[in-house]
């Protein structure tokens, strides 16, 4: 299936389409239509269900509008600018900060500094030796004008930060035991310079993120990594390996147990929603490719008609985020671990308030305040006063069996839109015999459970079909009804948007309440009583094969 086919079908069939179409659209913004929205929701539902079924994962839902101070702590505020220079002669573009780094200098991220440094070092175009133009700035975060934060507000460039900020809420929720994880499904916003390729690079996009927290001395998830599935790995040395995540961890290819665990988990998720495992690999980031905070990152990449694309990143973020938020907010975002009991002696300062009051009278209040502030030199009206006789230090014995630490984080982060693109790419086929399209996505993510179709458009059959349609709706089955055009045309219509089953009402239905159940992939049909439909599409879904 080539790239244009997907976009054409997506537009024509209501999977997704450019936003604000009647006004010409805005690049990098796409809407999901009637079928696309349902596929998307089904994928989210499965993902949440798989994650929450771990038992020690809880859900979070934060706002997209974010205080500048959060993004200063996270590092986005400083790093979400691109500084570029362009060669005046051959128009090759460079990152200004990269040029200076390559010249061996520490970079100070300000536009004027970069500009001056390039002149000072007399840097030239690497391509043609031409003179470089002025340093240009590109803001990669959307700014929201307003808010009481002096810097204004921003749309979040990732959903993760809200989770880190609320770490303590969840730490309490999990009764102060690690490991646990927090998931969030939501939108992120990046002001891409040139969004491209439909759902591949968007300005507003859907993410499904999971932040899992560990004690660094016991970095271990509650379950073992998958040892059943053979997965293709591409290491940062460029070596290709095929093995299970468990084996990859045991052999030290993946250094972190939870990282291996979530690779396995994500793999099972991908298979379940219909991604082709032959077109899936996990590629380790090279040293120079790693984010500023990460010591190891593996990207799940899918081979699609636009090449290998990153659909999920599983990153070891260390304790970067929490330690930054501790530093910037001054708040306690520590976890605690139990340690062997030990005795600690603490100095307790005892102050003889009565004695001070007796000696200094009305000046006592000022003195006591100064003592409490911890001042070394106590004075009254500029004159030093000796108050040592009123202060005594007492040693107190204390038993300590807990200590603070900053948890480390493993983050699997799923790019939902790219995943949807990949699922469609991997499942959209052209029927050889007819040349028509079939979207063979798994039943679980089908936009509707079933299409209800009268064979003929006559009153009796339509009446019966609508009756069956209503009955299915009452059973909470997502059914869609259609009596337009010929039966073959309708089958083709629903095959193309991935609906797995069609129920057809024909002459026999009127006589004996049976219908035919057709399967999208095999085009086979079986005849069943209409009150068995639910059973055969929900509880014991028919696989489309006739014995």
Partner RNA sequence: GCGAGCGUGGUGUAGCCUGGUAACACGCGAGCUUGCCAAGCUCAUGCCCCGGGUUCAAAUCCCGGCGCUCGCACCA
Give the contacts of 59 (CB within 8 A, at least 6 positions apart). 48, 52, 182, 183, 184
Burial of 298 (0-12, 13-18, 19+ CB in 10 A): buried
Written as one string, the DSSP assignment of 466-487 is: HHHHHHHHHTT--EEE--SS-H
Question: Of 236, 307, 223, 231, whose CA–CA distance to 267 is shortest?
Answer: 231
SS3 349: strand
In a 13 Å sphere around the CA of 246, the CA atoms on its Cβ side amount to 7
Host H or E run for residue 527: strand 525-529
Count of CB atoms situated within 10 Å of the CB of 158: 20
- Characterize the bridge pairing of strands 153-155 and 65-67: antiparallel
Nearest by Cα to 326 from 165, 161, 217: 165
Sheet holding 307-318, edge to edge: 57-59, 180-189, 204-214, 408-415, 307-318, 296-304, 280-284, 231-234, 240-243
- Other CB atoms within 10 Å distance of the CB of residue 52: 14
Instruction: Give phi and psi for 330, each to the nearest 5.
Output: 75, 10
Give the start-end residues of each E strand in 75-203. Answer: 81-86, 93-95, 136-139, 143-144, 153-155, 180-189
* Contacts of 322 by beta carbon, 8 Å cutoff, 6+ apart: 164, 167, 333, 406, 407, 409
Distance, in Å, from the CA atom of 214 to the CA atom of 182, rounded to the nearest integer, reads 12
409 CB-contact burial (10 Å; exposed 0-12 / middle 13-18 / buried 19+):
buried
Distance CA 309, CA 279 (A): 10
Interface with RNA (CB under 7 A): 3, 7-8, 11-12, 18, 24-28, 76, 79-80, 82, 84, 86, 91-95, 98, 140, 157-158, 190, 192-198, 201, 289, 291-292, 306, 434, 436-437, 455-458, 461, 484-489, 491-493, 496, 504, 506, 516, 518, 523-525
Structure tokens at 53: 């079924």
**Strand, helix or coil for residue 133:** coil
CA distance 250 to 296: 16
């Amino acid at each position: 299936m080539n790239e244009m086919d997907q976009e054409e079908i997506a537009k024509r069939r209501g999977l997704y389409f450019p936003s604000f179409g009647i006004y010409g659209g805005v690049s990098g913004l796409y809407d999901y239509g009637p079928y696309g929205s349902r596929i998307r929701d089904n994928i989210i539902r499965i993902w949440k269900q798989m994650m929450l079924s771990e038992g020690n994962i809880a859900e979070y839902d934060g706002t997209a509008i974010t205080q500048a101070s959060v993004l200063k702590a996270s590092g986005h505020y400083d790093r979400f600018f691109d500084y570029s220079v362009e060669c005046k002669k051959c128009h090759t573009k460079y990152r200004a900060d990269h040029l200076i780094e390559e010249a061996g200098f520490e970079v100070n991220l300000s536009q004027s500094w970069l500009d001056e440094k390039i002149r000072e070092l007399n840097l030239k175009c690497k391509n043609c030796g031409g003179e470089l133009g002025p340093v240009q700035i590109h803001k990669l975060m959307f700014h929201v004008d307003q808010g009481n934060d002096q810097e204004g507000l921003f749309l979040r460039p990732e959903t993760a930060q809200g989770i880190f900020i609320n770490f303590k809420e969840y730490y309490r929720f999990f009764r102060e035991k690690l490991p646990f994880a927090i998931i969030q499904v939501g939108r992120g916003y990046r002001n891409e310079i040139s969004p491209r390729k439909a759902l591949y690079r968007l300005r507003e996009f859907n993410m499904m993120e999971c932040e899992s927290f560990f004690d660094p001395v016991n970095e271990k998830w509650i379950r073992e990594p998958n040892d059943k599935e053979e997965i293709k790995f591409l290491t940062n040395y460029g070596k290709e390996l095929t093995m299970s995540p468990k084996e990859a961890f045991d052999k030290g290819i993946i250094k972190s147990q939870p990282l291996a665990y979530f690779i396995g988990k994500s793999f099972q998720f991908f298979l379940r929603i219909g991604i082709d495992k032959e077109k899936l690999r996990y590629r380790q980031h090279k040293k120079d490719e790693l984010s500023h905070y990460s010591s190891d990152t593996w990207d799940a990449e899918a081979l699609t008609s636009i090449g290998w694309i990153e659909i999920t990143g599983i990153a070891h973020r260390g304790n970067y985020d929490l330690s930054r938020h501790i530093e910037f907010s001054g708040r306690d975002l520590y976890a605690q671990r139990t340690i062997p009991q030990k005795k600690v002696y603490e100095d307790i300062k005892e102050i003889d308030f009565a004695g001070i009051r007796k000696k200094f009278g009305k000046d006592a209040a000022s003195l006591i305040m100064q003592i409490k502030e911890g001042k070394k030199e106590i004075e009254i009206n500029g004159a030093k006063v000796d108050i040592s006789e009123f202060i005594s230090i007492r040693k107190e014995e204390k038993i300590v069996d807990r200590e603070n630490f900053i948890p480390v984080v493993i983050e699997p982060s799923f790019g939902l839109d790219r995943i949807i693109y990949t699922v469609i790419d991997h499942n959209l086929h052209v029927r050889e015999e007819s040349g028509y399209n079939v979207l063979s996505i798994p039943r679980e993510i089908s936009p509707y459970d079933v299409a209800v179709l009268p064979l003929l458009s006559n009153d009796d059959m339509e009446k019966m079909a609508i009756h069956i349609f209503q009955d299915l709706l009452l059973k909470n089955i997502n059914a869609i009804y259609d009596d337009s055009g010929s039966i073959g045309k309708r089958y083709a219509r629903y095959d193309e948007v991935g609906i797995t089953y069609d129920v057809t009402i024909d002459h026999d239905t009127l006589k004996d309440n049976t219908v035919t159940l057709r399967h999208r992939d095999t085009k086979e049909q079986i005849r069943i009583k209409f009150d068995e439909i639910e059973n055969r599409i929900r509880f014991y879904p028919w696989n489309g094969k006739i014995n």
